[in-house]
Amino acid sequence: MLFNKSAVKTKRKPLKPYRFYRRCPIFSINNETFKSIETCFSIKPKDSRVQKARKITTVLGVSIKPDEHTRKGSFEGIRLPAFTLRDRKGHCIEQALLLNAILSKYHIPTKWVVMKNPKGYAADLKNWGIHAFNYFKGDSGEIFLADTITNKVRPKKHQKFIVEQKMNYREFCSFCFQDSGEDYAFNHNNLKKAITEFQVSLCADPNNYSACISLGEAFSIHHHPKKAEQWYREALKIAPNFLDVHAAYGDFLWEWNKKDKAKQVYLAAAEMQTKDFQILHSLEKRLKQFSGCKSIAERVGNTKKHLMKKKGFKGY
């Protein structure tokens, strides 16, 4: 699930800066490492921001290979930029971190945007994929996305996606450690390390209800339903009026065969809003399995179709 800042009802205060930086390493590379690779990029003084970004993205796109962490013996957690450079491989978030570290060395001020199912990245609507981009302003003021997976720097206005979320540094740190926790829990069956990573994620941003849901899911798949439910309820405290969170809690209840309770949660979710039509599609299917919910399921389905048409996506 992609975190949506606007869904947070009452914002919680994060850690003080000195405590935050003790827990969350800075995603950068040192000057010695940078000097060892600087000549590879062939940056000229007169190059524009976009030209610099394209040269850096091209070199990294060729040099760094994709690594999804899913096979036995693969890297666990999340690589820092120096390790991605050392191993010459990394998944999309790890490559985005490395790209960000190098762009900053050339004084290109970048920010983060995370998109769900952006076109060109497993955009099959039956798959749920989240991709992180560096974005920056070109010399003319136009917003560009830089990405090593596709080896492209292109205007943001040309990128199609389901939902997006811009993130500041803290929020992106939280997102990264959430991803690391998911890797430990879901790909490497290591719940203990997963819990640590999720805790770091929530230290970086205590408003990240998505990390709470991922932690709940981790406890659930490792057969700790009581602990799992505590974290789903924690997510509901942070974003009590957001459809995505209620739908996730309903799915948890459904999986643990609490169908009556799940029905009530799904019905509550159907009265809420989201811009994520994948979640609406899932909710529609769940509601169709309950008697007396046909009209509500149809309404959810119509909302899904409207959002898909608005975003320019074609059917399931």
CA distance 293 to 155: 43
Q: Which residue has the higher pLDDT, 123 or 228?
A: 228
pTM: predicted TM-score of the whole model, two decimal places: 0.92
Is the predicted pLDDT of residue 40 greater than 60, yes or no?
yes
| Model pLDDT for residues 213-232, shown as the tens digit of each residue | 999 999 999 999 999 999 99
Q: What is the mean pLDDT of residues 297-305?
A: 95
Specify the pLDDT at position 158: 84
**In this structure, what token pair is assigned to residue 59?**
């070199």
Q: Residue 115, Cβ neighbours under 10 Å: how many?
A: 22
Highest mean pLDDT among 119-128, 158-167, 266-275: 266-275
Specify the pLDDT at position 279: 94
Q: What is the mean pLDDT of residues 203-213?
A: 95
Task: List all residues 6 or more positions away from 197 whose beta carbon is below 8 Å from its beta carbon.
Answer: 77, 177, 178, 180, 181, 184
Q: What is the mean pLDDT of residues 258-270?
A: 97
CA distance 80 to 210: 22
Specify the pLDDT at position 119: 74
Is the predicted pLDDT of residue 20 greater than 80, yes or no?
no
Domains of the chain: 5-169 (3.10.620.30), 193-311 (1.25.40.10)
Q: What angle do CA 49, 53, 58 make, to 5 degrees?
A: 155
Specify the pLDDT at position 74: 78
CA distance 53 to 153: 7
Give yes or no for a contact between 20 and 252, defined as CB atoms under 8 angstroms apart.
Answer: no
Rounded alpha-carbon distances, angstroms, from residue 49 to 38, 54, 104, 134, 179: 16, 9, 11, 13, 30
Specify the pLDDT at position 118: 81
Mean pLDDT of the chain, nearest integer: 91
| Model pLDDT for residues 141-197, shown as the tens digit of each residue | 999 999 999 899 999 988 888 899 999 988 999 999 999 999 999 999 999 999 999
pLDDT classification of 1: cutoffs 50, 70, 90: confident
| Model pLDDT for residues 62-112, shown as the tens digit of each residue | 999 988 766 666 788 999 999 999 999 999 999 999 999 999 999 999 999
